[in-house]
Structure 1
Amino acid sequence: MIVPDISQSAAAVADHYDELDPIYRRVWGDHVHHGLWVTGRETPAEAVEALVGTVGDRLGLMPGEACVDIGCGYGSTARQFAVTRGVRVTGFTLSTEQARYADAHPVPAVDIQVRDWLVNGMADASADAAWAIESSEHMVDKARFFAEAHRVLAPGSRFVICAWLAETDACGWKVRHLLEPICREGRLPSMGTREEYEAMATAAGFAITGYEDASRRVARTWTICTLRLVKALLVDRETRRLALRARNRSSFLGLPRLILAYRTGAMRYGIFTLSKARENGAPREPGTVS
């Protein structure tokens, strides 16, 4: 597990997203996650939607199901699934600014809460499906992140995680100059490997039913973000003012590091599909009601 030299708390994560909220939306929009290029010809907006669609397909969502969006950001994925797949979604974010944006764009059957997932307060076995798109990285206690998901999900449920991962057995310079600074600048309490995630998921009681290394298909996200940020800093006085005065301005230094981390293989992007066994021991198949 990669751990930054300056420890990161849930409060630091919340402060990061609250302060940089207008810049995030200016640079990338209301989905705070990578795009997924399937054909390579997608626009950035289409690539972002492709990642959401991939998560939905792997969950096998059915109308009427109760779902949980762990680290929901602006609630965009929750709203999309509520509208297109007819599910009910409870979303959790640490950021009051993200929740404020979500409240200004309400959709029936979507409830966004400002609350730490590790103390989510949900009842046991109360959800039919859950997803965490690039939020597990911000969890102070990753083992508890998995344990809470297993507790909240009903037997037969599915759980999809899209995660920033460290290269297995990354060499010293990659850790010192890429992965550890990325954790520090991005307010990640830690960054795990595929093997560490799978071990924690299994220990929590999940079966691992699928994994994809999507690194090559998401990596261009950071080149696009960097170019857009540079342009915004050059042409928009308000963006420049916010960026230069921000307490979290060191986060912008992480953009070139992220590009290099993907190119060298130091960082990977993994999509995990997990299932909680039915009471008879069998996992639910996608597209079937639990």
Structure 2
Amino acid sequence: MGAIVPEVSQNAVAVADHYDEFDPIYRRVWGEHVHHGLWTTGRESPVEAVEALVDAVGDRLNLLPGQLCVDIGCGYGSTARRLALTRGVRVTGLTLSAEQARYAAAHPAPDVDIQVRDWLANGLPDASANAAWAIESSEHMVDKSAFFAEAHRVLLPGGRLVVCAWLAGTDARGWKVRHLLEPICREGRLPSMGTREEYEAMALAAGFAVTNYEDVSRRVARTWPICAGRLIKALLTDRQTRRLALGARNRNAFLGIPRLILAYRTGAMRYGIFTFSKAGENGALRGGQPRN
């Protein structure tokens, strides 16, 4: 199966508009981390779960104090701030959203620089970063092959890239595509949704080695029932949220929440964490064998 492409094409302008318009709702419903939570015991709070996903990314990157890192699609800068604090790294974060960058500027942190910039035209120097990550931002890239090519260009030899991605189930067909995946892409401003196999093929074509892959769908899926409950409560109790949601240009995005819940339950959609490595100076690769 090829990548899922929405009937109405999406671009970086549409992505920025989506996040700028829904900025207050995102922070009220889910907080500063605009990504899934990762549950291990099931007893973690949502805040603990979203931080666990960030820590899982940091672990896979093997970050060392003083390293230079890039957060591709950094949102409000919360991941960058947490990894700068806990791992002692320096982070440049890029976002398309002026509202997200404005929030980040109001919450500065040492060794964190958040900029409004398109990753596909990032302007960063060649071989300038030890590590990079993209937590649920590759889905918004119009050209995913260029996303990987830019990551390979910006990373130093021996560098690592971790990608947390919404993925189409390899065997998704028929109604799962028509009624779940295609509308999720359209409503969520995703130019396309790839499969695990497509991501790995694009990374390999860009020069990376695949050192690890883990499907954590079951551990992240409860994010959406929690979001649904919080959104319903906010709509019922807060007039400002209700007015913004009902009058928003992007209001059809809310339809994606029940679709996402069903997409995970049916296996139409998966959530994967990839670790990619760039060859070192001598051609050697860091890391071990891929995990299935």
Question: Aligning the two structures, in what range does the TM-score lie when normalised by the shorter sequence?
Answer: over 0.9
For residue 21 of structure 2, the aligned residue among 12, 19, 22 is 19
Give the match for residue 127 of structure 2: 125
What is the one-letter code of the residue matched to 1:265?
G
Give 3-state SS (helix, strand or coil) of 1:159's partner. Answer: strand
Report deviation, 1:280: 0.9
For residue 261 of structure 1, the aligned residue among 234, 247, 263 is 263
Query: What is the aligned length?
Result: 286
For residue 168 of structure 1, the aligned residue among 161, 170, 188 is 170
Deviations along 1:52-99, whole A, 9 cap, x unmatched? Answer: 010000001000000000000000000111111111100000000000
Give the match for residue 208 of structure 1: 210
Give 3-state SS (helix, strand or coil) of 1:130's partner. Answer: strand
Measure, in 2, the Cα distance between the counterparts of 1:201 and 1:82.
26
* Percent identical: 81
User: Which runs of no fewer than 5 residues in structure 2 stay unpaired?
Assistant: none
Equivalent positions of 1:28-43 (< 5 A) are 28-43=30-45
Deviations along 1:101-149, whole A, 9 cap, x unmatched? Answer: 0000001111111010000000100000000000000000000000000
Report deviation, 1:38: 0.8
Give the match for residue 80 of structure 2: 78
Give 3-state SS (helix, strand or coil) of 1:209's partner. Answer: strand
Q: Is the 8 A contact 2:277 2:287 kept in 1?
A: no
Give the match for residue 252 of structure 2: 250
Measure, in 1, the Cα distance between the counterparts of 2:32 and 2:26.
8
Measure, in 1, the Cα distance between the counterparts of 2:180 and 2:81.
34
Report deviation, 1:285: 4.7
Equivalent positions of 1:1-290 (< 5 A) are 1-285=3-287
RMSD of aligned Cα (Å): 0.8
What is the one-letter code of the residue matched to 1:124?
D
User: Which runs of no fewer than 5 residues in structure 1 stay unpaired?
Assistant: none
Give 3-state SS (helix, strand or coil) of 1:165's partner. Answer: strand
TM-score, scaled relative to structure 1: 0.98
What is the one-letter code of the residue matched to 1:67?
C
Measure, in 2, the Cα distance between the counterparts of 1:253 and 1:185.
7
Give 3-state SS (helix, strand or coil) of 2:22's partner. Answer: helix
Report deviation, 1:40: 1.1
